[in-house]
Amino acid sequence: MNGRERILTSLRHEEPDKVPFDLGSTPVTGIHYIAYQKLRKTLGLAKKDLEIWHMMQQLAWVDDDVHDALKTDAKGKRPKPPSSWQLNFTEDDEYVYYTDEWGITRRKQKEGGYYFDLFLSPLANAQSLSDVEGFTFPDPVDDFRFEGLREFAEKVRSEGRAFVLGGISAGMLEMGLWLRGFENFFCDLQENRMLAEAICEKILELKMLYWEKALKLVGDLVDVVQEGDDYGGQQGLLVSPELWREIFKPRLLQLFSSIKRCAPHVAIFFHSCGSIYEIIPDLIEVGVDILNPVQVSAANMDTKKLKREFGDCLTFWGGGIDTQRILPYGTPEQVREEVKRRIEDLAFGGGFVFATVHNIQADVPPENILAMWEAVQDFGRYR
């Protein structure tokens, strides 16, 4: 089997020849540039100019030679920003800053900073619906976003890998938190529902316009579409399940139904960190096919339990190894044992693509990444 066949077989909840492996097909299965540079050196690969493909998270673009060395089964692409926006950095004594296409300003510490964190929210002072309506949102269908996309997808197909197409933005909750500021938006959800829902509705509108055009252009080459939002913390949901079902669930149904109308064959990959056990049946109900990152360190996110209860409906793309403790701080043998356990929990019957729980972070030693990969090769064979 090639990588695409392997993933499509697993998505059908059948067992391929071995567990599919992903590194870098999405901005939630990637690798921080510091860890990536060390990995390339350990693999004995030539030095290359580093490309950051997700500025906020400081993720490295995974080059072809790394994909080949690690025998990955998928590659992915995100849309470009609109042609009207340019990336520019400013700095002061402590921080480097940039403002993204949504008008959100982020900053990274010069010394010891790993990511760009939220600094200024453009709708922080919004008071009414007119403030949202008057805000200049980025153009989701600017032609520049799609330049080179079909050529890249054709290349991925020719390599025998599955192609994952990313979305225009984070989800409605995350975008609300970033556009309004965390405190403001959480308060809006309780006390100013009309304003919160207006922002959610606008994000939904832009997403649907983007997916309609993107899938018209390359839908025949897309195997998986990647969407997501962050609904969970370590111990439970960030909002009550009742509020989530009132505000976010119906809009997710609308979004995923629209995607499926445009491209019925694609699998919908949905990312949400944290403890989201309470709403997994709802996610299945609205059309999610693939759950990521399967945060095994969060409450009620045990892989054996999840596979038993939801494995007939969901493919778990992630959950392969804990990235909070084991991968960065464990020994190679502890990494190996963790990988073995997660494969035993999740792989039977298909419906599993091995990936780390979210991105590989800057402090992960390359020896542990290779121990993880070798364990997947050793324990991930079905026959």
Domain residue limits at 240: 3-85+122-379
pLDDT score, position 383: 74
Q: Is residue 267 within 8 Å of residue 11, measured between CB atoms?
A: yes
At residue 275, what are phi and psi to the nearest 5 degrees? -85, 100
Note the pTM of the prediction, 2 decimals: 0.97
pLDDT score, position 13: 98
Residue 97: inside a domain = no
Measuring CA to CA, which residue among 354, 325, 359, 358 is closest to residue 341? Answer: 354
CATH code of the domain containing 199: 3.20.20.210
Q: Position of tokens 């759950």?
A: 291
Kindly state the tokens that stand for 276.
């989201």
Residue 238: inside a domain = yes
Q: How many domains does the chain have?
A: 1
Using DSSP, state whether 119 is helix, strand or coil: strand
Residue 314: inside a domain = yes
Residue 47: inside a domain = yes
Q: Specify burial of residue 223 (Cβ count, 10 A radius: 0-12, 13-18, 19+).
A: buried
Residue 367: inside a domain = yes
Furthest C-alpha separation in the chain = 61
Measuring CA to CA, which residue among 1, 15, 10, 5 is closest to residue 317? Answer: 10
Residue 358: inside a domain = yes
| CA distances from residue 2 to 72, 106, 157 in whole angstroms, order as listed | 10, 40, 10
Q: Is residue 380 within 8 Å of residue 345, measured between CB atoms?
A: no
Residues 6+ apart with CB under 8 A from 168: 79, 140, 145, 206, 207, 210
Paired strand residues for 225:
165, 268
Q: Across the chain, where does the E strand assignment appear?
A: 52-54, 59-60, 74-77, 89-91, 95-99, 105-109, 117-120, 162-166, 224-228, 267-271, 290-292, 315-317, 352-353
Write the pLDDT tens digit of every residue in 226-246.
999 999 999 999 999 999 999
Residue 104: inside a domain = no
Q: Specify burial of residue 261 (Cβ count, 10 A radius: 0-12, 13-18, 19+).
A: exposed
Paired strand residues for 98:
89, 106
Q: Is residue 29 within 8 Å of residue 356, measured between CB atoms?
A: yes
Chunk the chain into consecutive blocks of 10 residues (it has 383) and report each block's average pLDDT, rounded to whole numbers. 98 98 98 98 94 97 98 98 97 98 98 97 96 97 98 98 98 98 98 97 98 98 98 97 98 98 98 98 98 97 98 98 97 98 98 98 98 98 89
Q: What is the DSSP string of 272-332?
A: --S--GGGHHHHHHHT--EEE---TTSTT--HHHHHHHHTTT-EEE--SS-TTTHHHHS-H
Residues 6+ apart with CB under 8 A from 308: none
Q: Which DSSP symbol is given to 89?
A: E
Of the chain, the end-to-end C-alpha distance in Å amounts to 12
Q: Assess whether the previous peptide bond of 293 is cis (omega < 30° from 0).
A: yes
Q: Is residue 33 within 8 Å of residue 60, measured between CB atoms?
A: yes
Q: Is residue 376 within 8 Å of residue 40, measured between CB atoms?
A: no
Q: How far apart are CA 148 and CA 24, in angstroms?
A: 18
Q: Is residue 6 within 8 Å of residue 20, measured between CB atoms?
A: yes
Residue 142: inside a domain = yes
Q: How far apart are CA 238 and CA 161, in angstroms?
A: 36
